[in-house]
Structure formats: C-alpha cells, structure tokens
Amino acid sequence: MLVSRSFFSCVLFLCIAHAAFSQGGTSLGPEPSRAVSQPATPVASGPQITFNSVHVEGPFVAMTFDDGPHATLTPKILDLLAAHKMKATFFVVGENVAEYPDIVKRAAREGHEIASHSWSHPNLGKMGDDGVRREMQKTDDAITAAIGTRPTLMRPPYGSITARQKAWIHETFGYRIIIWDVDPLDWKRPGPNAVTSRILNETKPGSIILAHDIHPPTIEAMPATFDQLETKGFKFVTVSELLAMARPAPPKLRAAATPTIARPPVTAAPITRPAAPALRTPAPSPALPAPSPTPNG
C-alpha cells in the first residue's frame, strides 16, 4: 500500500510540472524586473550670448571704445572715424550718457553703434542681482532717452561677470555680452606707439578690438592704428554687423602621422684586432771569465 501511494504521488507531481511547462512558466517565483534602456534626451544648446571674436569670411573687424562719452576726446575720435569712413561701437557709461547726450546722439547719427557699459562702471561679478539690474536698467533708460532706441549689446566693466549673470541679463534685457580678443592695455597709458603696435600684432579677421575714448594717448594712437590696419586690408564694422557675418569655424585638421619605415637591424661588423707581436727570447749573455785567485799577502 505504501508503495502504491508513493507511485501515485510521483505521477501526480509529474503531471503538475508538465502543465506548468506547457503554459511557459519555467520559474515558480516572480520574473525579475529588467532595466529598460531609454534613449538619452538631447540637451538643447541655446544661442550663443557671449562673444570675444567670431569667425568671418573676410577681413572684417570691430573697433570698440569704452567708458565714454568724454566731453572732448570722444568728438575727436568721431572726427577721425568720419575721415576714414569707418564705423565703430561705443560701450558707454550711463552716467556719462546722461551728462553728454548730444555726443551720443552724434555718434548714433553718424552710423556708430551705442551699447551698454553699465551706469557707474562697477565690478558686476561681485554684485548682487538687484544692484546689477539697476545698473543695466538706468543705462538702458539713458541710452533710449538720448538716441530713441534701446541697446542690444552690453560689455561688463573689467570683463567681470558670472555665467549665471550672463544668462539672466540676456533673458531680462535681451543683451548679447561682448568681451574682446585684442586688448592693448591702453588704460595703463603705455604710450601711443605701444598701443598701435599691440593692436596691429593681435588683430585678425573677426577680432573685437578694445580701446578707451577717455585717455589722451589712446586718441593719439588711433591715426596710425587706423592707417596701418587699413594698409593690412582690414575693414571696420560695428559689433552687431560683425556678429551677423559670423560663420561656423572650419574643423581643425589633424596632422597626418608620419609613417614608420621598418629598418633592418644593424649588425655590428666584427672588429679585427692585429695579432700581438711574438715575444722574442733575448740571446744569452756571453760567459765572463772566472776571476784570478787573489794572492796571499
């Protein structure tokens, strides 16, 4: 009886297992979860808002002047630009715009671009948002009052600005932030010749050149600077015009690797040394005669 019951139990177990396999279940436990690979969401790259220079197809550069307008020096620069039929961009300080609005009007009337350089020339990178916003808004209002249009560009004093500030200034005011790639350090007043030489050595197509129209040596340097840049073939446009000309830079070509030429191993030639000369045996010395016996005395 016991054997029959065991046999019956075995048959029953085999039937249940067969039914489970026929339904596709190979495991009595729950199926482990599988990580589903999701395609990476592409990160949208926003428009470029900060510029030091651009790649252009042609000898175009942008001449910029900071910190004005100055009561006497800025008009001299405007006279010189008019004589050369050149266009420039003036990054003006709001306080000076409010004091000399007619100079700003003249610059805009003669085709030059007027852009913001803050109200009082502080270090924006070390300021809170409220202070930066006041600097931007007051300057924006002063420029609009002088020429009837808002600026679209701004340059932070000293080039000091954080990445976060750039983003919200662009979002709030619509400004593109303009730095530079040619800096003659004219604010240190190194002399007109040094200013001219530095600008000539550093300028290339697409450059944004920094200068200041509040230092007399800079004004003295500009005639030679303009003449020699023109002799090199450069053409002057406003910063906004230069940005409109920007084209993607061509990819940099990698230098081709120099093929390695397999050279046969160099086998050192055996060194033949001359044989050592044979040693010669010296001839025996002749025998000396025996001494005579000494007589007794």
Residue range 180-229, pLDDT digits in tens: 999 999 999 999 999 999 999 999 999 999 999 999 999 999 999 999 99
Q: What is the pLDDT of residue 18?
A: 47
Decide: 143 and 103 in contact? Cβ < 8 Å: no
Q: Identify the CA nearest to 244 among candidates 23, 55, 76.
A: 55
Q: Is the pLDDT of residue 84 over 80?
A: yes
Establish if 174 belongs to a structural domain.
Answer: yes
Q: What is the pLDDT of residue 255?
A: 56
Candidate list 70, 112, 117, 212, residue with the active-site label = 212
Quote the number of domains for the chain.
1
pTM over the 0.75 mark: no
Q: Is the pLDDT of residue 256 over 80?
A: no
**What gap in Å lies between CA 97 and CA 175, rounded to an integer?**
18
Decide: 207 and 61 in contact? Cβ < 8 Å: yes
More confident position, 9 or 66: 66
Q: Is the pLDDT of residue 240 over 60?
A: yes
Q: What is the pLDDT confidence band of residue 251, given thresholds at 50, 70 and 90?
A: confident
Among the listed ranges 18-22, 170-174, 226-230, which one has the minimum average pLDDT value? 18-22
Q: What is the pLDDT of residue 26?
A: 35
Coil, helix or strand at residue 265: coil
Establish if 268 belongs to a structural domain.
Answer: no
Q: What is the pLDDT of residue 28?
A: 33
Establish if 279 belongs to a structural domain.
Answer: no
Establish if 177 belongs to a structural domain.
Answer: yes
CATH number at residue 145: 3.20.20.370
Q: What is the pLDDT of residue 40?
A: 36
Active site residue 212: yes
Active site residue 141: no
Candidate list 66, 67, 186, 213, residue with the active-site label = 66
Establish if 44 belongs to a structural domain.
Answer: no
**Phi, psi for 254 (deg, rounded to 5):** -80, 140
Dump pLDDT digits (tens) for 94-134: 999 999 999 999 999 999 999 999 999 999 999 999 999 99
Domain assignment of residue 122, given as a range: 50-244
Dump pLDDT digits (tens) for 36-58: 333 333 334 678 999 999 999 99
Q: Is the pLDDT of residue 273 over 90?
A: no
Establish if 201 belongs to a structural domain.
Answer: yes
Establish if 43 belongs to a structural domain.
Answer: no
